[in-house]
Structure 1
Amino acid sequence: MLAPHRRVLLMRRLTHLAARLRGWVRGSEVAVVGLAVLIGIAVGVLAWGMGAAAHGLQRLLYGLEPHLRLSAATRLPTWQLLLVPTLGGLALAGLNRIIARWRPRSPVDPIEANALRGGRLSLTDGVVVGAQTVVSNGVGASVGLEAGYAQMGGGLASRLGRAFSLRRGDLRILVGAGTAGAIGAAFNAPLTGAFYAFELVIGTYSIAALFPVVASAVSAVLVARLLQAGTYVVETTAPGVVDPVYYPLALLVGALSGLAGIALMRGVGTTESLLTRAIPSPTLRLGLGGLAVGGLALISPVALSAGHGALHTAFMTEAPAWPVLALLLVKAMASIISLGSGFRGGLFFASLLIGALGGKLFAGVLAMISPPGPDPLILTIVGMSAFGAAVIGAPLSMTFLALETTGSLAVAGPVLAAVAVSGLIVRRLFGYSFATWRFHLRGEAIRSAHDIGWVNDLTVGSLMRREVPMAPATLDLAAFRLRFPLGAVSRVVVTGEGGRYAGIVSVAEAHAAPPEGGLEGLLQMTDRVLLPSMNARIAMSAFEAAEAEAMAVVDGPGRRVIGLLTEAHLLRRYGEEVEKRRREESGIASG
């Protein structure tokens, strides 16, 4: 056993080494890439574990064979289809109540963390969302595991990044790298994972972000393959040459997918709102939601779980238009009811299945009009990608998913055209992806992961000058001139009875005014003030509306003056912060 003084010396050395290591990681781009590789390896293992847990739960509850997917199980008894999702909803409600007692606040999503919190994300939130997602998917609710994967990947990355005291910009990139690994491992598609991170979680593409994001995505996919994770691998074959006629068809599929994606997202929000008002009990909502999903599964098992087995079937089999339409409606309704009633999970894979069925339906309708019609496989792939882009909000990610799924560059052309049209329609007519739509319903003003948290941190209270020259409204003009001679200050805040804000007086105008007048006639900005909680953008809008050079800051209803802010200082500080974020995104931020 070490003597006390030796233990103290050892602790000091360890602390010194830890500080040096943190300093090296903070200042080294290579070290950040190394962290991303470690994160990718861990996320690959987590994806394998979560996927195995969900599939194991399905096998246990539904008696599935090892390689059979729930959404392709056509011989399940009626009682099982109705009972398991219902009891599963009640079990999830019980789990939610336990979690609420332990951790009452709502989990923070990786997109929200990067947009508002500079990449600060709790690993505990990842565990909570992961557990809820595994239970929801395992009992048969029409949700995917991607939300849990991304939450765990982002939470792990944020925790590791904060342990090394990474800068705000580097931490946001590392969170994106964690989610890239998660989505890459989920779909066995590193490019899909990387561009998911760029488009949704980081909010921009930069050379600085490229290396850690790709490193994490590739590492996670390699680990998932090594473990034979059996996650959402979608494999199909497509022709090596695509006729040019498919391009206008792809544009039309993209337009229809955009409109249908908007309808699906609004359907989830409307259903959630209606069920919350009609059924106040979360437990009862989840139970009835599970029962409704089970009822839809009586029509087709496509209603159950994420739909991996059903998507494989959609690619590999041919069917007339009407049965495909029925499957599409069943899956869409199951997804809306599952999320609207409170099951936890994502729409990523469900949107791929709905889009694939939509493309197949489109091909079937054209075959009815003009036999034999176009190749249904090509339009199935186009529909999958276009509808996924509409709902997820990541057009390039969906394009790379089609490319990695088929290995066909020829099909990637029509897919790119379709996702561009789909994304444009959703952007112009709706303005949200599914994730940001959920934030909007919660009252958050987030439309992307672009970093706006620093704007909220840049408040009027942090920018204002607290030492403010003030004078009472009862002061006569002669006394005012003696107290504030020309050149001493440029403006003075005037207060009325009880110290309430009355307005601002220009010292130059006071000295130019007739000597017999008072301060009342010189008051400006009498009804225009700032609050210390306002962020920089709100303050700039207030200055523009008031056409003022300076405004008083008051404490609220009492209108007690606590500071003064000039527009010039606000614009200078805002510009400095914008330049700082630009340098971080371009990878040239100084140490």
Structure 2
Amino acid sequence: MPALLHRPVQFLLRQLRRAAALRSLVRTSEVAIVLLAALTGAAVGLLAWGMGMAAHGLHALLFGIPPGMRLSAAGYIPDWRLLLVPALGGLALYGLNRLLKRWRPKAPVDPIEANALHGGRLSLTDAAVVGAQTILSNGVGASVGLEAGYAQAGGGLASKLGLFFALRRGDLRVLVGAGTAGAIAAAFDAPLTGAFYAFELVIGGYSIGALFPVVASAVCAVLVARALEVKGYAVETLATGPVDNELYPLALLVGVLCGFSAILLMRGLAVTERLLARAIPSGALRLMLGGLCVGGLATVSTVALSAGHGALHLAFVTETPARLVLLLMLVKALASLISVASGFRGGLFFASLLIGALGGKLFAGLVAMVLPPGPDPLILSLVGMSAFGAAVIGAPLAMTFLTLETTGSLAVTGLVLAAVAVAGLIVRRLFGYSFATWRFHLRGEAIRSAHDVGWINDLTAGRLMRRDPRSLPATMELAAFRQAVPLGATAQVVLLDEAGRYAGIVSVPEAHAAPPETATLAELARHRDRVLLPGTNAKNAMALFEAAEAEALAVVDGPEKRVLGLLTEAHLLRRYGEEIDKRRQEETGIGPA
């Protein structure tokens, strides 16, 4: 029997050695990580094609529209379909959610959350869950886009590959950003937009080291999507006219209006969600009524349905009276609020582009009434699209590059950049969140960007403490203490009461310098009520040290106050500084190979 097992075991060992060598090569080679990102981008382009085809297939099947037609631009759909399909689709989504919850009870982790808190660790199972939910939500006509599913799929695939090759924390975060860059680039047929979406939202900053993997993924995803003729979120518009300098004040004003409107939309979503949850406790009924409301809005205009690709194209290429534009904008905004608040899965990415484009067009119409003939409505539609999108999504440069890749006009891009900067500044100063980070805030997560803060939570008092501190009874006489603990033996001693619980800390030099009338150690005990828990992170621990004005604090197990260890402020600050330096090296690409 040993002879029979010898060859298979040797073969297995050889394969393991080869896999280990391959992992080592990828971990230490920047070129290998770029190739891995390119492979991820190609796979994400294929996934975008599959998800888009599934959603469009549902549109054609359920609403009876021709396969090549966009749902939000459909000329005629029977009212019974408009009302019935989203309502029954809500029930179907509730059933799917129940099934998925049994299979995957944990809530999916978003790529932004994964990079901020978990060092880029994402699950492919989460990608499958979010993908199924977004395809069904979009397919039954809810006013949500597929961008959440695309980004989840790209980030999940990238994370899985990175974990297989045991990438370092910083490299894994970049690879997750590259995966989402490929997803957005394939969806919009816009590699620059996808790349800067990753830099601004998923990675949390731009660096030379992150540039090459992100661009490789975005370009490869777009090439695959074009080869498959993906019917994604490509923004189609007419050629713009000349841009006058007089348009810059109008563009800045559009940016101001978009900033305030975006804050209103995001706060309105939170209020709507809270009111619906209180008024309709049943998740099934809430989804069904939400779908019914969206269907009712769709009887006014099909702009309420799905993400709104067709409606955005029509907004660019058709002339529409100002009153009708206002009606369409309100219908889309209400449909989006109700869809997300009632529980349909998806994002406001494309909906915000459509609302902003309609808002820019409405603004141009109002200016034309006052000062005829007024500005070019197409130009202000593009300005509104990008400014409102940047205000909601939180990616100003990505939205600016979307306009550039859509129009090819640097002059229009200058107007857009000015409006985007104003809208982003207003949201940043008066609100402080993008749509994604606002949703995290409502869930109780203190995340305002994808900057890596997860390591702070990993750097806990339980990991940093000294596990064998010197401890003595608090009732011990001072003379006996001086004999047992001479000067220089240790700096602090933990005191315990009769039950073995924490009773304070005594400084050894202070005990040796105490006056003769001091009888026991208990009289010298300090920080009796100031302790750390094992899960206290580095940031909170530093705040406790500062509040207590202490050089060392005990780490206890909770209410029982059993001493687990001792943590000094000097050691905490040193380890905190080392971790900050490590993160800075990863972000700038100057870390050790």
Shorter chain as denominator, the TM-score bin is over 0.9
Query: Can you list the C-alpha shifts for 1:180-229, whole angstroms capped at 9, x where unaligned?
Result: 00000000000000000000001111111100000000000011011101
Letter paired with 1:102 = W
Asked if 2 retains the 8 angstrom alpha-carbon contact of 1:240 and 1:408, the reply is no
Query: Can you list the C-alpha shifts for 1:437-486, whole angstroms capped at 9, x where unaligned?
Result: 11111111111111111111100000011111122121121112111122
Structure 1: give runs of 5+ residues left out of the alignment. none
Corresponding residue number in structure 2 for 1:12? 13
Letter paired with 1:375 = D
Q: Hey, what's the Cα distance between the residues in 2 that align with 1:299 and 1:313?
A: 16
Q: Hey, what's the Cα distance between the residues in 2 that align with 1:7 and 1:467?
A: 47
Map 1:262-411 onto structure 2 (within 5 A). 262-411=263-412
CA RMSD across the alignment: 1.2
1:53 pairs with 2:54: yes
Query: Can you list the C-alpha shifts for 1:59-81, whole angstroms capped at 9, x where unaligned?
Result: 00111112211101131111111
Asked if 1 retains the 8 angstrom alpha-carbon contact of 2:233 and 2:309, the reply is yes
Compute the displacement of 1:238 (Å): 4.1
Partner secondary structure for residue 77 of structure 2? coil
Q: Hey, what's the Cα distance between the residues in 1 that align with 2:402 and 2:228?
A: 21
Identify which of 524, 531, 534 aligns with 2:533.
531
Q: Hey, what's the Cα distance between the residues in 1 that align with 2:464 and 2:471?
A: 19
Q: Hey, what's the Cα distance between the residues in 2 that align with 1:523 and 1:429?
A: 47
Compute the displacement of 1:317 (Å): 1.0
Q: Hey, what's the Cα distance between the residues in 1 that align with 2:249 and 2:551?
A: 55
Q: Hey, what's the Cα distance between the residues in 2 that align with 1:400 and 1:109?
A: 24
Partner secondary structure for residue 391 of structure 2? helix
Q: Hey, what's the Cα distance between the residues in 1 that align with 2:399 and 2:63?
A: 32
1:176 pairs with 2:177: yes
Map 1:21-36 onto structure 2 (within 5 A). 21-36=22-37
Map 1:525-564 onto structure 2 (within 5 A). 525-564=527-566
Corresponding residue number in structure 1 for 2:581? 579
Corresponding residue number in structure 2 for 1:143? 144
Query: Can you list the C-alpha shifts for 1:534-579, whole angstroms capped at 9, x where unaligned?
Result: 0000001111111211111111111222111111100000000111
Asked if 1 retains the 8 angstrom alpha-carbon contact of 2:238 and 2:316, the reply is no
Asked if 1 retains the 8 angstrom alpha-carbon contact of 2:144 and 2:348, the reply is yes
Q: Hey, what's the Cα distance between the residues in 1 that align with 2:298 and 2:536?
A: 50
Asked if 1 retains the 8 angstrom alpha-carbon contact of 2:238 and 2:317, the reply is no
TM-score (norm 1): 0.98
Asked if 1 retains the 8 angstrom alpha-carbon contact of 2:45 and 2:224, the reply is yes
Corresponding residue number in structure 2 for 1:463? 464
Asked if 2 retains the 8 angstrom alpha-carbon contact of 1:239 and 1:410, the reply is no
Q: Hey, what's the Cα distance between the residues in 2 that align with 1:348 and 1:156?
A: 21
Corresponding residue number in structure 1 for 2:506? 505
Corresponding residue number in structure 2 for 1:212? 213
Asked if 2 retains the 8 angstrom alpha-carbon contact of 1:61 and 1:139, the reply is yes
Compute the displacement of 1:530 (Å): 1.0
Once superposed, which parts of structure 1, at least 4 consecutive aligned residues long, lie more than 4 Å away? none
Q: Hey, what's the Cα distance between the residues in 2 that align with 1:585 and 1:371?
A: 52
Query: Can you list the C-alpha shifts for 1:267-314, whole angstroms capped at 9, x where unaligned?
Result: 222111111121111111111000000000011110000000000010
Q: Hey, what's the Cα distance between the residues in 1 that align with 2:522 and 2:95?
A: 65
Query: Can you list the C-alpha shifts for 1:406-453, whole angstroms capped at 9, x where unaligned?
Result: 110000111111111111111111111111111111111111111111
Asked if 2 retains the 8 angstrom alpha-carbon contact of 1:117 and 1:453, the reply is yes
Partner secondary structure for residue 494 of structure 2? strand
Compute the displacement of 1:241 (Å): 3.6
Corresponding residue number in structure 1 for 2:201? 200
Letter paired with 2:68 = H
Q: Hey, what's the Cα distance between the residues in 1 that align with 2:583 and 2:332?
A: 42
257-266 or 392-401: bigger deviation: 257-266
Map 1:220-259 onto structure 2 (within 5 A). 220-239=221-240, 241-259=242-260
Asked if 1 retains the 8 angstrom alpha-carbon contact of 2:461 and 2:533, the reply is yes
Compute the displacement of 1:174 (Å): 0.5
Asked if 2 retains the 8 angstrom alpha-carbon contact of 1:240 and 1:410, the reply is no
Q: Hey, what's the Cα distance between the residues in 2 that align with 1:580 and 1:16?
A: 29
Corresponding residue number in structure 2 for 1:98? 99
Asked if 1 retains the 8 angstrom alpha-carbon contact of 2:240 and 2:378, the reply is no
Corresponding residue number in structure 2 for 1:430? 431
Compute the displacement of 1:491 (Å): 1.7
Letter paired with 1:448 = S
Letter paired with 1:380 = S
Asked if 2 retains the 8 angstrom alpha-carbon contact of 1:477 and 1:516, the reply is no
Asked if 2 retains the 8 angstrom alpha-carbon contact of 1:238 and 1:411, the reply is no
Q: Hey, what's the Cα distance between the residues in 1 that align with 2:264 and 2:204?
A: 25
Q: Hey, what's the Cα distance between the residues in 1 that align with 2:336 and 2:540?
A: 38
1:111 pairs with 2:112: yes
Asked if 1 retains the 8 angstrom alpha-carbon contact of 2:259 and 2:387, the reply is yes
Letter paired with 2:311 = A
Q: Hey, what's the Cα distance between the residues in 2 that align with 1:218 and 1:246?
A: 33
Q: Are the structure 2 counterparts of residues 423 and 3 from structure 1 closer, same or farther at C-alpha, using a change threshold of 3 Å?
A: same
Asked if 2 retains the 8 angstrom alpha-carbon contact of 1:176 and 1:197, the reply is yes
1:569 pairs with 2:576: no
Compute the displacement of 1:4 (Å): 3.8
Q: Hey, what's the Cα distance between the residues in 2 that align with 1:340 and 1:309?
A: 24
Asked if 2 retains the 8 angstrom alpha-carbon contact of 1:389 and 1:395, the reply is yes
85-94 or 465-474: bigger deviation: 465-474
Q: Hey, what's the Cα distance between the residues in 2 that align with 1:149 and 1:284?
A: 28
Partner secondary structure for residue 485 of structure 1? coil
Asked if 2 retains the 8 angstrom alpha-carbon contact of 1:240 and 1:409, the reply is no
Compute the displacement of 1:320 (Å): 2.0
Report the number of matched residues. Answer: 590
Q: Are the structure 2 counterparts of residues 485 and 105 from structure 1 closer, same or farther at C-alpha, using a change threshold of 3 Å?
A: same
Structure 2: give runs of 5+ residues left out of the alignment. none
Map 1:60-79 onto structure 2 (within 5 A). 60-79=61-80
Partner secondary structure for residue 497 of structure 1? coil
Compute the displacement of 1:509 (Å): 1.6
Compute the displacement of 1:324 (Å): 0.8
TM-score (norm 2): 0.98
Q: Hey, what's the Cα distance between the residues in 1 that align with 2:202 and 2:547?
A: 34
Q: Hey, what's the Cα distance between the residues in 1 that align with 2:26 and 2:305?
A: 45
1:439 pairs with 2:425: no
36-45 or 506-515: bigger deviation: 506-515
Compute the displacement of 1:240 (Å): 6.1
Letter paired with 2:93 = L
Query: Can you list the C-alpha shifts for 1:247-283, whole angstroms capped at 9, x where unaligned?
Result: 1111111111111111111122211111112111111
Q: Are the structure 2 counterparts of residues 494 and 4 from structure 1 closer, same or farther at C-alpha, using a change threshold of 3 Å?
A: closer
Letter paired with 1:28 = S
Compute the displacement of 1:496 (Å): 2.0
Q: Are the structure 2 counterparts of residues 486 and 571 from structure 1 closer, same or farther at C-alpha, using a change threshold of 3 Å?
A: same
Q: Hey, what's the Cα distance between the residues in 1 that align with 2:522 and 2:139?
A: 72
